[in-house]
């Protein structure tokens, strides 16, 4: 049996008396593109922060490629790539210097050849020596993806990857996600508000409401369950109003 790429069992997180996440149980298989949907404050970023080891859960367990996010955090970090919302870099350094640093942090001894390869994959070749100071949001997002995939992780986490991007940037990102999944078999977990992008990109979805998962299934089965509705948007609003399981 294949180890699930991502597995969460009864995951919970509280900030003082406020419960940001409660009883999240989820399983995402290898090679899936999973979209986590929900309103602002539903707990999407908290979920990603726990799965990427940035935040410890209050209770419950989460495994990435079989590694526990609390007790085997370093193994988890080695096997994931992460693109946070509004990714930031060192503006006074060049693209290559920024990527070299994150490559070294990921344990790569000589990341330069891989940096060239990744930048070419992202159609960013020839920009290695430019400083990031004057880069647009879309360009930064591409560098963000480059740092996330530099060490060839098995699982890629994208937190609101389309936030602040223009339509061209959104399309470019969608194509990149598709290629990462199809060419490298990367499992991708993304939080997003853009339902149209989820429809075009994801193979499975989950819907969070007030910290609780109200739906999780493959995209096909989700849409098939609502034969009268032809768009994910109307399905989303119906599922989002479902009682918490």
Residues forming contacts to another protein in the complex (CB under 8 A) are 52-54, 74-75, 77-78, 80, 82, 84, 86-93, 97, 101-102, 104-107, 147
Tokens of 13: 């997180």
84 vs 235, which CB is nearer to another protein? 84
At its nearest, how many Å lie between another protein and the CB of residue 72? 11
At its nearest, how many Å lie between another protein and the CB of residue 74? 5
At its nearest, how many Å lie between another protein and the CB of residue 215? 27
Residue whose entry in the numeric block shows the structure tokens 């880069």: 135
Relative to beta strand 187-191, strand 155-159 is parallel
At its nearest, how many Å lie between another protein and the CB of residue 171? 25
Residue 202 Cα distances to 7, 48, 130, angstroms: 18, 17, 33
DSSP bridge partners of 168: none
24 vs 87, which CB is nearer to another protein? 87
38 vs 153, which CB is nearer to another protein? 153
110 vs 245, which CB is nearer to another protein? 110
Instruction: Name 105's Cβ contacts closer than 8 Å, sequence gap at least 6.
Output: none
89 vs 236, which CB is nearer to another protein? 89
Runs of H (alpha helix) within the chain: 44-51, 73-79, 95-105, 112-121, 137-149, 167-184, 195-201, 219-224, 232-240
At its nearest, how many Å lie between another protein and the CB of residue 234? 35
104 vs 242, which CB is nearer to another protein? 104
Exposed/middle/buried for residue 167 (C-beta within 10 Å: 0-12, 13-18, 19+): exposed
Dihedral sign for Cα atoms in the order 196, 189, 81, 58: positive
At its nearest, how many Å lie between another protein and the CB of residue 62? 14
Distance CA 160, CA 138 (A): 13
């Amino acid at each position: 049996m294949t180890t699930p790429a991502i597995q969460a069992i009864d995951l919970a997180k509280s900030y003082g008396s406020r419960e940001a996440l409660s009883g999240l149980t989820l399983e995402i298989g290898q090679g899936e593109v999973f979209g986590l949907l929900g309103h602002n404050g539903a707990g999407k970023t908290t979920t990603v922060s726990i799965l990427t080891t940035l935040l410890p859960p209050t209770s419950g367990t989460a495994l990435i490629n079989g590694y526990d996010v609390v007790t085997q955090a370093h193994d988890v970090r080695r096997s994931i790539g992460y693109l946070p919302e509004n990714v930031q870099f060192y503006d006074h350094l060049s693209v290559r210097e920024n990527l070299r640093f994150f490559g070294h942090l990921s344990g790569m001894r000589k990341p330069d050849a891989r940096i060239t390869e990744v930048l070419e994959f992202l159609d960013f070749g020839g920009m290695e020596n430019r400083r990031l100071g004057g880069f647009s949001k879309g360009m930064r997002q591409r560098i963000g993806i480059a740092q996330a995939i530099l060490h060839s992780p098995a699982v890629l986490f994208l937190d609101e990857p389309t936030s602040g991007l223009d339509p061209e940037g959104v399309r470019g990102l969608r194509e990149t996600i598709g290629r990462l999944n199809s060419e490298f078999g990367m499992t991708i977990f993304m939080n997003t508000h853009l339902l149209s992008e989820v429809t075009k990109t994801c193979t499975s979805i989950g819907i969070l409401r007030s910290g609780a998962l109200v739906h999780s299934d493959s995209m096909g089965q989700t849409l098939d369950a609502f034969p009268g509705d032809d768009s994910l948007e109307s399905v989303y609003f119906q599922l989002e109003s479902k009682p918490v399981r």
